[in-house]
């Protein structure tokens, strides 16, 4: 469950999950406490520094209090000490373990207990007593170290807190000086004597940063026969393979490259979840395994290499064999079933059942299963958010930006990155695909690597960005989330950012050479944008300096020069089965009874095209396709949507490129959900095998759901009693 996104433009209020006892949580808004201006001016600098800790400060500092004087006193201490205390804790990576609202509240109380005991000798419960008897009991429990969900703080966490507080308190003699010196504990590392972006401005792209590359002749030809063959070492593929082994079946997990984990280990460290309560099974096990690494109960923000190491360990513990660099060539079918698949190098994998866990749906296509690419018209499924979609203000240009090569002259042609094709009418279907990018992992560490200048660098690709920056808008890197170790997960934000809009349409159906060309174009675009922001004289100096303060982590993606090896393929092929998940399921206007997992994220589409439009008599660049609409709450995903029609294939499961409309897929397509669907897909395949190798379409859904619940999958949700929640933007 996420907090209001402090990196986005608008601060929206959110609704808490009701506490035990049925009380509704308070609604918090982006507001300041009602204090006198004289008192506020004393703490202006501290308030500014507290912006980095807004998720911590909002619920505590703005919570209604019965004793106004006590609240003012508490707020002053919070503003003085929380930045100092939370800073080192966050850098150590433990802060993210309490990112949920209830855990964060209890952590805050623990910090403040230490502060008050050390400084004023008051017990914080007497100052910030929550309203209501139930919340009083919860508040006292939290102060004593017990979490609202029944879990306890481990002793190591308490030691970290007290050590952090002790360091903060010893920083200076007075509370004000301690707060002012708290910058030593901030997320931003100290400045270096030399900036690698200045000392090595012509660093080049790693030659190993490729999607597809020729393989040497194999030393051994694989001829593998198993109960289940899983193509794609994504979260869905890993969960499927682990589940098959736990059910006593033999399995082969095929990875396209040298890595496992897909986006989860490829830079997406700020988990897009919607609502954690909807996540169970192997998916939840993974985030708890990460927590174990960081000394916490769970971890939903993490470093890429830690994620991959954790997934490899989970595979090894389950006895899952992983076959690396397996590129699908063909699938052989007999009597409506896949018999085997062949990969480059002459390898062959035979199995009773198959799982297509690729982001592109390559196996389902080779097997002749129906699929679609692009956006359906709203009219096709009775939706409102599908098809061409103008009007969403997010991830768009906030001021008019001239789209022509010669400003004001349409005859001069359009700037690079702007399409001259007719955009289509609102709600009309097309074959355009939402934009891809890299989830960039950055750092300010002293040993950071510089942003490379790609061989295909083209400064003209960034003329539109230059004009936008000089119009006064600087938000390219605004969607930057801090991870443990002082690293980031940096995503696309605003009108012009890391999304390479309109340059990925051929990816879903493209062969490997085509995809490698598109991959290279995305590398050139994204790396080129970072180099442009660091060095191009069209960029204001303050922005160049700010960008240069960042670099690539030396200890991440070591084989590709610190740059993520995984392109964020947000959407590619989508299977068309007898049941299609749509916007109507996300909003509970239609329901299903064959749930095999829950989705909870907003219906989310990134932009699909950038065009020139005349708005109120002024020509401007305009992005089209962005949609961000929350569902009514976590909702069930149909079993029928992850398996094909029986007349097309009887032994294939498809947990990633499932049967869903474009806009519904935008809600389902989250990595934790792919874990969930992969586990459910393998469970169904194993039950089909145990029932006498029956078609997956004939699996008893009731037995399937029983087994999934035994394995701690979450299948049910009541939208009337459990609200939706805030999400980050993937």
What number does CATH give the domain 224-374+637-710?
3.50.50.60
Q: In the numeric block, which tokens belong to residue 659?
A: 């049967």
Is the pLDDT at 726 greater than 70? The verdict is no
pLDDT average, residue stretch 247-262 = 98
528: left (phi over 0), alpha (psi -120 to 50) or beta: alpha
Least confidently predicted of 73-82, 187-196, 351-360, 456-465: 73-82
Angle ∠(50,51,53) on CA atoms, nearest 5: 65
pLDDT-derived band at 554, boundaries 50, 70, 90:
very high
Q: Quick check: helix, strand or coil at residue 454?
A: coil
How many angstroms separate the Cα of 552 from the Cα of each of 307, 384, 395, 489?
18, 41, 25, 11
Is the pLDDT at 210 greater than 60? The verdict is yes
Q: Which of 278, 114, 90, 139 is nearest to 672 (CA)?
A: 278
- Give me the pLDDT at residue 30, please: 30
Domain extent listing, the chain? 14-185, 224-374+637-710
- Give me the pLDDT at residue 632, please: 85
Summarize pLDDT for 29-70 with one digit per residue, the tens: 232 333 333 333 333 333 333 333 333 333 333 333 344 444
- Give me the pLDDT at residue 181, please: 32
- Give me the pLDDT at residue 97, please: 35
Name 337's bridge partners.
334
Cβ neighbours for 598, distance < 8 A, ≥ 6 positions apart: 278, 279, 634, 635, 636, 637, 673, 676, 714, 715, 717
Cα–Cα distance for residue pair 331/324, rounded to 1 Å: 18
- Give me the pLDDT at residue 721, please: 66
Cα–Cα distance for residue pair 496/493, rounded to 1 Å: 7
712: left (phi over 0), alpha (psi -120 to 50) or beta: left
How many angstroms separate the Cα of 687 from the Cα of each of 257, 352, 701?
30, 12, 10
Is the pLDDT at 729 greater than 60? The verdict is no
Is the pLDDT at 88 greater than 50? The verdict is no
- Give me the pLDDT at residue 722, please: 64
pTM of the model as a whole:
0.77
pLDDT-derived band at 195, boundaries 50, 70, 90:
very high
Among all chains, which residue has been given the structure tokens 């290279």? Answer: 520
Angle ∠(39,43,49) on CA atoms, nearest 5: 155
Asked if 236 and 658 count as a contact pair (C-beta separation under 8 A), the reply is no
Q: Which of 489, 379, 369, 477 is nearest to 428 (CA)?
A: 379
Among all chains, which residue has been given the structure tokens 């592109």? Answer: 360
Cα–Cα distance for residue pair 291/385, rounded to 1 Å: 37
Q: Using the CB atoms, write b or e for 560-589: b if 16+ within 10 Å.
A: bbbbbbbbbbbbbbbbbbebbbbbbbbbee
Q: In the numeric block, which tokens belong to residue 223?
A: 């001829």
Q: How many Cβ atoms sit within 10 Å of the Cβ of residue 411?
A: 7
Among all chains, which residue has been given the structure tokens 């992969």? Answer: 678
Asked if 728 and 55 count as a contact pair (C-beta separation under 8 A), the reply is no
- Give me the pLDDT at residue 724, please: 52
Q: Which of 423, 384, 326, 386 is nearest to 621 (CA)?
A: 423
Cβ neighbours for 705, distance < 8 A, ≥ 6 positions apart: 594, 595, 596, 715
pLDDT average, residue stretch 640-647 = 98
Among all chains, which residue has been given the structure tokens 């087994």? Answer: 707
pLDDT-derived band at 719, boundaries 50, 70, 90:
confident
pLDDT average, residue stretch 147-161 = 40
Summarize pLDDT for 301-335 with one digit per residue, the tens: 999 999 999 999 999 999 999 999 999 999 999 99
Least confidently predicted of 182-186, 245-249, 380-384, 520-524: 182-186
Summarize pLDDT for 326-361 with one digit per residue, the tens: 999 999 999 999 999 999 999 999 999 999 999 999
Summarize pLDDT for 368-398 with one digit per residue, the tens: 999 999 999 999 999 999 999 998 889 999 9
Return the percentage of the chain with pLDDT > 70, whole number: 72
Name 170's bridge partners.
none
- DSSP label at 459? G
Residue, of 480 and 130, whose pLDDT is higher: 480
Q: In the numeric block, which tokens belong to residue 454?
A: 């790609």
Average pLDDT, the chain: 80
Residue, of 24 and 569, whose pLDDT is higher: 569
Q: In the numeric block, which tokens belong to residue 55?
A: 């998720």
Cα–Cα distance for residue pair 268/280, rounded to 1 Å: 20
Q: Which of 639, 727, 632, 646 is nearest to 677 (CA)?
A: 639
Cα–Cα distance for residue pair 320/312, rounded to 1 Å: 9
Q: How many Cβ atoms sit within 10 Å of the Cβ of residue 55?
A: 18
Is the pLDDT at 532 greater than 90? The verdict is yes
pLDDT average, residue stretch 400-407 = 98
Summarize pLDDT for 682-692 with one digit per residue, the tens: 999 999 999 99
Among all chains, which residue has been given the structure tokens 């994998």? Answer: 349
Asked if 432 and 571 count as a contact pair (C-beta separation under 8 A), the reply is no
- Give me the pLDDT at residue 720, please: 72
Helices (H), 617-661: none
**Is residue 176 within a helix (H) or strand (E), and if so which, with residue range?**
helix 175-180
Name 372's bridge partners.
574
**Is residue 86 within a helix (H) or strand (E), and if so which, with residue range?**
helix 68-91
Is the pLDDT at 547 greater than 90? The verdict is yes
Residue, of 95 and 632, whose pLDDT is higher: 632
Sign of the dihedral defined by the CA atoms of residues 295, 299, 305, 310, in that order: positive
- Give me the pLDDT at residue 575, please: 98
Least confidently predicted of 23-27, 629-633, 670-674: 23-27
Q: Quick check: helix, strand or coil at residue 536?
A: coil
pLDDT-derived band at 283, boundaries 50, 70, 90:
very high
């Amino acid at each position: 469950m996420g907090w209001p996104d402090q990196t986005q433009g608008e601060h929206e209020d959110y609704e808490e999950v009701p506490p035990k006892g049925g009380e509704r949580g308070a609604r918090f808004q982006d507001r300041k406490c009602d204090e006198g201006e004289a008192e506020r001016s004393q703490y202006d600098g501290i308030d500014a520094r507290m912006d980095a800790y807004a998720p911590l400060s909002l619920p505590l500092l703005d919570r209604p209090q019965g004793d106004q004087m006590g609240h003012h006193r508490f707020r002053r201490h919070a503003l003085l000490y929380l930045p100092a205390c939370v800073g080192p804790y966050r850098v150590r990576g433990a802060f993210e373990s309490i990112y949920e609202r209830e855990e964060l509240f209890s952590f805050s109380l623990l910090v403040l207990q230490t502060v008050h005991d050390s400084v004023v000798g008051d017990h914080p419960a007497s100052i910030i007593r929550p309203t209501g008897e139930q919340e009083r009991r919860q508040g006292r429990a939290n102060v004593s170290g017990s979490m609202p969900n029944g879990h306890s703080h481990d002793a190591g966490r308490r030691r970290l807190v007290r050590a952090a507080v002790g360091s903060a308190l010893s920083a200076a003699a007075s509370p004000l000086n301690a707060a002012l010196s708290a910058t030593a504990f901030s997320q931003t590392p100290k400045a270096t004597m030399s900036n690698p972006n200045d000392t090595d401005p012509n660093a080049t792209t790693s030659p190993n940063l490729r999607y597809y590359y020729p393989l040497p002749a194999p030393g051994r030809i694989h001829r593998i026969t198993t109960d289940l063959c899983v193509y794609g070492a994504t979260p869905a593929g890993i969960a499927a393979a682990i589940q098959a082994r736990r059910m006593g079946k033999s399995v082969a997990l095929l990875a396209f490259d040298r890595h496992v984990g897909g986006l989860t280990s490829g830079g997406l460290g700020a988990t897009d979840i919607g609502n954690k309560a909807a996540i169970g099974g192997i998916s939840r096990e993974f985030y708890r395994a990460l927590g174990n690494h960081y000394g916490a109960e769970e971890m939903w923000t993490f470093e890429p290499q830690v994620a991959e190491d954790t997934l490899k360990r989970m595979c090894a513990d389950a006895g899952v064999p992983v076959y690396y660099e397996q590129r699908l060539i063909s699938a052989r079918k007999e009597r409506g079933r896949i018999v085997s698949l062949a990969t480059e190098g002459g390898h062959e994998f035979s199995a009773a059942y198959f799982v297509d866990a690729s982001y592109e749906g390559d196996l389902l296509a080779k097997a002749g299963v129906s699929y679609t690419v692009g956006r359906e018209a709203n009219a096709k499924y009775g939706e409102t958010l599908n098809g061409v979609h103008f009007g969403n203000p997010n991830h768009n240009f906030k001021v008019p930006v001239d789209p022509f090569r010669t400003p004001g002259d349409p005859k001069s042609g359009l700037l690079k990155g702007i399409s001259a094709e007719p955009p289509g009418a609102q709600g009309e279907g097309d074959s355009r695909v939402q934009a891809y990018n890299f989830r960039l992992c950055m750092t300010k560490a002293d040993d950071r690597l510089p942003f490379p200048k790609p061989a295909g660098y083209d400064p003209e690709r960034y003329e539109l960005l230059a004009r936008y920056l000089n119009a006064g808008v600087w938000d390219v890197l605004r969607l930057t989330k801090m991870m443990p170790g002082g690293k980031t997960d940096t995503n696309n934000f605003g009108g012009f950012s890391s999304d390479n809009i309109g340059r990925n349409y051929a990816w879903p159906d493209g062969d490997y050479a085509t995809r490698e060309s598109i991959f290279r174009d995305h590398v050139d675009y994204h790396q080129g944008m970072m180099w442009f922001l660091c060095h191009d004289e069209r960029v204001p100096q303050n922005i160049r300096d700010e960008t240069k303060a960042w670099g690539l982590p030396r200890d991440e993606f070591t084989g590709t020069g610190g740059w993520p090896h995984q392109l964020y393929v947000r959407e590619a092929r989508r299977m068309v089965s007898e049941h299609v998940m749509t916007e109507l399921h996300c909003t509970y206007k239609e329901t299903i009874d064959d749930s095999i997992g829950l989705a909870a994220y907003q219906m989310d589409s990134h932009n699909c095209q950038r065009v020139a439009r005349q708005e109120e008599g002024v020509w401007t660049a305009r992005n089209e396709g962005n949609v961000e609409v929350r569902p009514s709450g976590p909702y069930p995903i149909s079993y029928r949507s992850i398996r094909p029609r029986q007349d097309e294939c009887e032994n294939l499961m498809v947990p990633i490129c499932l049967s869903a409309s474009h806009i519904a897929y935008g809600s389902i397509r989250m990595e934790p959900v792919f874990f969930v669907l992969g586990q459910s897909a393998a469970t169904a395949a194993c039950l089909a095998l145990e029932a006498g190798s029956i078609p997956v379409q004939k699996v008893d859904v009731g037995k399937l759901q029983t087994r999934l619940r035994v394995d701690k999958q979450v299948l049910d949700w009541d939208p009337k009693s459990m609200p939706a929640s805030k999400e980050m933007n993937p």
